[in-house]
Structure 1
Amino acid sequence: MSPIFLMSLLFGLTFGQAMSFCAPTEYIIHVEKRECAYCLAINTTICAGFCMTRDSNGKKLLLKSALSQDVCTYKDLVYRTVVLPGCPRHIVPYYSYPVATNCKCGKCNTDYSDCIHETVRTDYCTKPQKSYNV
């Protein structure tokens, strides 16, 4: 094994873990209303990826600022609105959803993110499906 290859491998293993890989990722959400006839499959982007986390067994000895529990979250986002097909006239057919334009590693903000481990599944429809491409 050449010394250059060995150094590259060692460098990658050492510093590769220190880097975060948090970026907008394509995702399909399925949206439906009980009163409407169809489910809408929406192609959007969400923030996903790896963020460095530091935790210590000596939590009581360290300042809170020394501990880091960052998640991949929105830095910039826009909201788009779609019309759900097959809704009766008395039902508001609009649905707004976030589109990630830029992501960051940071604290989870419950104002616009679901910060729990298990989320509600949105990868299925109970009604006939229509696609909506952003």
Structure 2
Amino acid sequence: MQLVVMAALLSLAGAGPGCSSRCHLTTIPIPVESCRGTEYILTNICAGQCETEAENLIDSDELPLQKSCNGDWSYEVAHIKGCQVGVRYPVARNCTCRKCNGNNTDCGPFRGNIANCLSI
């Protein structure tokens, strides 16, 4: 019964308007070096949290499957006014929750505050 209630709460978490803690595309400024020094370019990145199994609900010695918010990336070139050479920067095209890759991501448990939209 507790598992059913937990699943229902997790499915409702983030369902409200304005909640953006789930994995999604977001636009941020990133610094790039140009001929005029550091410039800021707007790009898309993947941000947010993915559902995962809670360690205390697993009756096993295995660690739970962790998922991370990641996406398909490409590169674009921006031309800064006054510079002859463009700057290349990464752009996320879409975001999904995928199995965490320990080679380039910290796959440990989340240690920060959970957004208010997940609180019930």
**TM-score where L is the length of structure 1:** 0.52
Q: What is aligned with 1:68? A: 65
Q: Say if 1:26 and 1:45, in contact at 8 Å, map to a contact too.
A: yes
1:22 aligns with 2:12: no
Shift of residue 15, structure 1, vs aligned partner? 2.0
Identical-residue share of aligned pairs (%): 32
Alpha-carbon deviation of 1:60? 6.0
The whole-number CA distance in structure 1 between the counterparts of 2:102 and 2:10 is 30
Q: 2:91 aligns with which of 93, 99, 122?
A: 99
- How many Å apart are 1:85 and its aligned residue? 5.3
User: 1:38–1:86: 8 Å Cα contact kept in structure 2?
Assistant: no
Structure 2, unpaired ranges of 5+: 1-5, 16-20, 108-120
Return structure 1 stretches of 4+ with deviation > 6 angstroms.
none
Equivalent position to 1:78, from 74, 77, 82: 74
Tell me how many residue pairs correspond in the alignment.
95
- 1:101 Cα shift? 1.6
Unmatched segments (≥5 aa) in structure 1 = 1-9, 118-134
In the TM superposition, residue 12 of structure 1 has moved relative to its aligned partner by 6.5
Per-residue deviation at 1:14?
4.5
1 CA distance for matches of 2:30 and 2:59?
A: 38
Larger radius of gyration: 1
Give how far 1:96 is off: 1.6
Residues 11-69 of structure 1: per-residue CA shift (max 9 Å, x gap): 96342249882111011101125xx323221011100111012242568623x6xx221
In 1: Cα distance, 2:88 partner to 2:102 partner: 19
Residues in 2 aligned to 1:14 and 1:49: alpha-carbon distance in whole angstroms:
15
**Cα RMSD (Å) of the superposition?**
3.7
